[in-house]
Amino acid sequence: MKKIGSREKIDAGQFDLKDTVVQISRVTKVVKGGKNLSFSALVVVGDGAGVVGFGVGKAKEVPSAIRKAIEAAKKNLIRVPMKGTTVPHAVVGRFGAGSVLLKPAPEGTGIIAGGGVRAVVEAAGITSVVTKSLGSANHHNVVRATFAALLGLKDPAFIARLRGKDLEEMVGA
């Protein structure tokens, strides 16, 4: 599994996480005696206040696959910098053949997104954002590209500190 970014490790026990199943797939493995059926689940978890994670689980039965995916998602949590209810700046995330564009939107716009992108931004607690998914429409690629975009977001206060300026100067007072 390719690593899509690095942030500090977040303990899942301190958050009230809600899970969303993005996709359940029936997968087969061809063996000498026939086909072995199993299920793969892609799940996104988040607290709705800036913490989100995703995970993939595989098992012979759907509930077990979902449970494994939730456990994997809790081990893969990231904190998303937000500016009010939206993202601080436009960003593009890429994974495989898929890329996802996230753009800030005014308060009250809502989430303009589909499929896996919507699940991720809702779980993160972003309520006003405009998104566009380009390239691959595969759910795994789209979710991972969205995470790559979220990892590319920078906190305005952090950028101001790096440049040696006040936050008011950066925002454009």
129: which 2 tokens? Answer: 């954002």
What's the pLDDT score for residue 123? 93
Domains identified in the chain, total number: 2
Model confidence at 58: pLDDT above 90 = yes
What's the pLDDT score for residue 62? 96
What's the pLDDT score for residue 145? 95
pLDDT in tens, 62-81: 999 999 999 999 998 999 98
93 and 153 assigned to the same domain: yes
What's the pLDDT score for residue 68? 96
Model confidence at 2: pLDDT above 60 = no
User: CA-CA distance, 157 to 162, in Å (whole number)?
Assistant: 9
106 and 56 assigned to the same domain: no
We report the CATH number of the domain holding residue 58 as 3.30.160.20
> Residue 34: how many CA atoms within 13 Å on its side-chain side?
3
64 and 26 assigned to the same domain: yes
From 78, 102, 119, the end of a domain falls on 78
pLDDT in tens, 21-40: 999 999 999 999 999 999 99
User: CA-CA distance, 145 to 94, in Å (whole number)?
Assistant: 5
Q: Which helix (H) or strand (E) is 57 found in, with range?
A: strand 51-59
Q: How many CB atoms lie within 10 A of CB 132?
A: 14
Q: How many CB atoms lie within 10 A of CB 153?
A: 18
From 78, 106, 121, the end of a domain falls on 78
CA distances 161 to 140, 150, 155, 170, Å, are 35, 20, 10, 10
Which residue reads 């906190």 in tokens? Answer: 155
What's the pLDDT score for residue 7? 60
pTM for the predicted model, two decimal places: 0.86
DSSP state letters, 83-134: BTTB-SS-EEEEETTEEEEEEE--TT--EE--HHHHHHHHHHT--SEEEEEE
Q: Provide the sign of the torsion angle of the four alpha carbons 76, 81, 83, 87, taken in this order.
A: negative
151: which 2 tokens? Answer: 């990892």
